[in-house]
Amino acid sequence: MKLSETFIKTLREAPKDEIAKNGALLSRAGYIHKEMAGVYDFLPLGLMVLEKIKAVIREELNKIGGQEVMLSALQNPELWEKTGRFSDQEVDIWFKTELSSGGVVGLAPTHEEPITNLMKTYISSYKDLPLAVYQFQTKFRNEKRAKSGILRGREFLMKDMYSFHATEEDLDRYYAEVEKAYDRIYARLGLTETYKTFASGGIFAKYSHEYQTFLPVGEDTIYYNSDKSVVVNKEVFNEEVLKDLGVENEAFTETAAAEVGNIFKLKYKYSEPLGLQFNDENNEQKTVYMGCYGIGVSRVMGVIAEKFADEKGLCWPETVAPFKAQLIGIGEKGTAEAEKFYATHEETVLFDDRNLRPGEKFADAELMGMPYRIVISDKTLAEGAAEVTARKTGESKMITIDKLAEIL
Amino acid sequence: MKLSETFIKTLREAPKDEIAKNGALLSRAGYIHKEMAGVYDFLPLGLMVLEKIKAVIREELNKIGGQEVMLSALQNPELWEKTGRFSDQEVDIWFKTELSSGGVVGLAPTHEEPITNLMKTYISSYKDLPLAVYQFQTKFRNEKRAKSGILRGREFLMKDMYSFHATEEDLDRYYAEVEKAYDRIYARLGLTETYKTFASGGIFAKYSHEYQTFLPVGEDTIYYNSDKSVVVNKEVFNEEVLKDLGVENEAFTETAAAEVGNIFKLKYKYSEPLGLQFNDENNEQKTVYMGCYGIGVSRVMGVIAEKFADEKGLCWPETVAPFKAQLIGIGEKGTAEAEKFYATHEETVLFDDRNLRPGEKFADAELMGMPYRIVISDKTLAEGAAEVTARKTGESKMITIDKLAEIL
C-alpha cells in the first residue's frame, strides 16, 4: 500500500479525553478513531490488524472442528427470560431498545441463549454430537466506565465459540482441546506471557478459566507460582483455592494482567432452561452438555498495542502487523529503487511515498510500528543495499537489494 | 466440506411465520435461522454466500480506490443533531438506547454523519482529495413491517461507500466510475437483470439512482423503455420526469423489482452542516463535495435466492455459491471414488457423505442449490465417469473422472 494513496495521517495529538495508552497511540498512528467513550471506528490499518487476529483464531478453531456462523445482535427477550438473564439485575450491561411495532429487544452482550435455542433445530440425536460453532461478532455492553481505549468497549468485536456434547467426559475432552488451541493462538499473536488463570466460576462452576496476559495497566491482579504452572486471579486467591489446586505451600508473585480470553464449562446451565436435549443410544432423552469459549478480538488488539509499545510508538508482532515493513526512499535514486521494490511487494510493504522530509517519515514509521523499516538511499545504494531496521530492537543492518525480499 | 461434519440439516418446514420465499428456502436449506421478524442468523453456508458477495464487491471497490474501514454501530446524537437527522420525525427507523452513564445513543441506520465528521480529522487540503472509503457493516433499522425474509431486515449487512471531492466535476467523474463498478458487481453476482433506475432524490437532488433487479415479489414498481436504457421508479414516473430524460415519446413497460443498491450525489448535504472543509490551491476554505453508494449485502443474497430458486429449491450462480458442486457417492465403489475425488477438492466441493438414501441426497442437493451435482456410482464408474448435473438446467452429462476437476 502506498501511504500517499490512503487517507491515513499520523496525528500529533490523541483525542483529549483518551487516557489509555493503547487508545492514544492507535489514534495518533491512524489505526482507530474515537466516536465516544468505549466506541471506536477502525480505519484501514486498524481493520487489517483485526483481520489478521481473526485469521489466526479462525485457523486454529477450524483445526478443532469449529464451524463459523454469524448470529444477530438484536435479541428476543423471550429466550433470555428463560434463563433469567434479560433482567437488568442479573445482567447489568444490557443495551435495550424498542421495536416500532412494539416490544423491547436487547443488544447481545453474549450469545449463550440464542445459540442454545438455535441448536434445538439441529441437535436431536447423539449422532449430532459433539459439535462446536463460533463467530466473530460485534457485542454491545453498557459499561458504566469505558476509559481503557479498546481494552474495554461498549461495542467490541468478540470471537465466541460454543460446544455441545453428549457427556461430561466429552465436554472435558474438547475443553482440553480448546485450551491447546488457545495456547497456540496467543503464541502466534505474540502474547507469549499469557497464562490460563483460575478465576471465579460464578454460578457455573467452582472455577472458570481466564487467559491473562501480563500487562502493567491490566485491570486484573493475578498471582503466579515460580514456574507459572499455576496462576490465580486475585478474586479467588485464598487458602481454600490454593489447597484445592495443591499449591498451598508454594510462593506466589503478584502482577497486573489483562484478560484476553475465557473459557467455561457451562454444562447444563443454558441447555436445561432452554430445553436443548438429545436422544442417546438407548433412545433416552438427555440434556446436552455445553462449553463456551471467548476471545475479545478488538481487546486483544488493544493488549498487543499496549504491551509492545514504547515511547516512540506502536510495535506490532509480525503475525498481526498490517504490513511487514515500512519502506522509505531517500533521494532520486533511492526513491526510484524503493518504487521498484514496492512494485512487487504491494501486499507486504507500506511504502511511505509522501512528499515529506526523511525525519518525519522515520518518526511516523516508529509511531505506526511495522516490524521493519526499510530505507533505500544513495548511501545504501552505494553498497547495493538497503538499510533494514527492526522496530523492536532498533538494530539496523544492510541487506543487498536482491536479498531484501527474504525478510518479508 | 463434508456434510456429515457440519451441523447443517435441511428442514421439512420453514418457520411458521416465514411468508417470504427467500426466507423460507434459505431456512429450509440450512443457510439462515430466524430470530425474529427481520432478524436472522447466518449459518455456515449462509455466511459463505455473504463472504462471496463481499469479496466481489470489495474487489471492484478496491479497483476504484476504495479504502476499507469499519465504523461503529453506536452513534453519538451530537453529530446527527447537526443535520437534524437524530429526530424520529426526520428519520423514522431509529433504534435508540440509553447509556448506563446517562444519555441517549442511536444504532446507526446509515453512516453519513460519522464518516463526514471523521474526515474532518483527515481532510484539510485539496491535496487530500479525492478519496473514497467503504465498509461492510451491520445496520439497524426499526422497520414497522419486516416480512420479506432477508430482503428487508431490522438488522442487516450493508456495504456503504462515501466519496469526498474538491469539485462537483470530480464528484461527477467518480460517480460515473462507481456506476461502472456497480455494473460489474451485479454482472458478476449473476444479477444481469439489474438496471440503474431514476428515483426520487428526496431532499438531496432531483433524482437519485437506484439499482433495481427485476423480481416478481420486489417491493418496487419500475418502468423501462424498449432497450432498457431508461428505467424509472414509479414514484417519479410522470410526464415532467420523462421529458427531463428526453423519453417522453417512448413506450414504457411496468414490472416489479427489488432495489439492490443506490447511489446519491450528496454534494454539500452533510459536509456543510458538519463543517467538512478544505483549503483549495488558493488557500481558500471550501466545502467538500460528497457522494454515497450503498449495496445491501444480505439483501442481495435474498434477491439472488429469490430470483433463481425454482420449485425444488435454491439455485446459486457460481460466483456466490458456497461450493461449486455437491458430491454424492452411491454404493461402495462409488463412495470410495467420491471420497478420493473429495480429498483434493475440499474447498470447492460439498461432499454429502451422510448415511442417507441417494434419493434424499438428490433432493437435498436440489434444495441447497450448488451449481453442479456430481454423482459417482457403479453405473457411472462402468464408464470411468461421474454424472454431472447442472442445477439450473437440470441437464446431465457423463464426465470422465480425470476431467472432473475441470468443472470446478
Question: Over the stretch B233-289, which tens digit does the pLDDT of each residue have?
Answer: 999 999 999 999 999 999 999 999 999 999 999 999 999 999 999 999 999 999 999
**CATH architecture group of domain A3-308:** 2-Layer Sandwich (3.30)
Series of mean pLDDT values for 10-residue runs along chain B (408 residues): 95 92 97 97 98 98 98 97 95 96 96 98 97 98 92 96 98 98 98 94 76 95 95 94 92 97 95 98 97 97 97 97 98 96 96 96 98 97 96 96 90
Q: Name the residue facing B76 among A36, A73, A114 (closest C-beta).
A: A36
Domain A325-407's class? Answer: alpha beta
**Alpha carbon distances (Å) from A273 to A76, A80, A290, B389:** 16, 10, 13, 46
Q: What is the C-alpha to C-alpha distance for residues B349 and B65, in angstroms, rounded to an integer?
A: 34
What's domain B3-220+255-308's superfamily in CATH?
Bira Bifunctional Protein; Domain 2 (3.30.930.10)
- For testing contact with chain A, the best of B95, B134, B356 (most A CBs within 10 A): B95
What's the grid cell of residue A77?
A: 427477550
The DSSP element (H or E) to which B373 belongs, if any, is strand B372-376
Q: What residue of B is the nearest CA neighbor of A114?
A: B35
Helix (H, G, I), strand (E, B), or coil: what is residue A368?
helix
From chain B, pick out residues whose CB is under 8 angstroms from the CB of A65. 5
**Residue A39 in this model has a pLDDT that exceeds 60:** yes
Residue A397 to chain B, least CA–CA distance (Å): 34
Global pTM reads: 0.97
Average of per-residue pLDDT values in chain B: 96
Instruction: Tell me where in chain A the CATH 3.40.50.800 domain(s) lie.
Output: 325-407
Instruction: For B27, name the nearest residue in chain A, comparing CA atoms only.
Output: A121
User: Using CB atoms, which residue from A47, A72, A144 is nearest to B101?
Assistant: A144
Closest C-alpha among B170, B229, B174 to residue B196? B229
Q: CB distance from B12 to chain A under 8 Å?
A: no
User: Does the beta carbon of A10 lie under 8 angstroms from any beta carbon of chain B?
Assistant: no
Number of A/B CB contacts below 8 angstroms equals 136
Question: What percentage of residues in chain A have a pLDDT greater than 70?
Answer: 99
Per DSSP, the three-state class of B208 is: strand
Q: Where in chain B is the domain with CATH 3.30.930.10?
A: 3-220+255-308
Q: Does A97 touch chain B (CB under 8 A)?
A: yes
Domain with CATH 3.30.930.10 in chain A: 3-308
Give the closest-approach CA distance of A391 to chain B in angstroms. 26
Q: Are B43 and A70 in contact (CB under 8 A)?
A: no
Residue A255 sits at the vertex; the CA angle it makes with A253 and A261, to the nearest 5 degrees, is: 115
Report the residue from B35, B107, B138 with minimal CB separation from A76: B35
* ipTM score of complex: 0.96
- Scan residues 55-84 of B and list those with Cβ closer than 8 Å to A: 65, 67-76
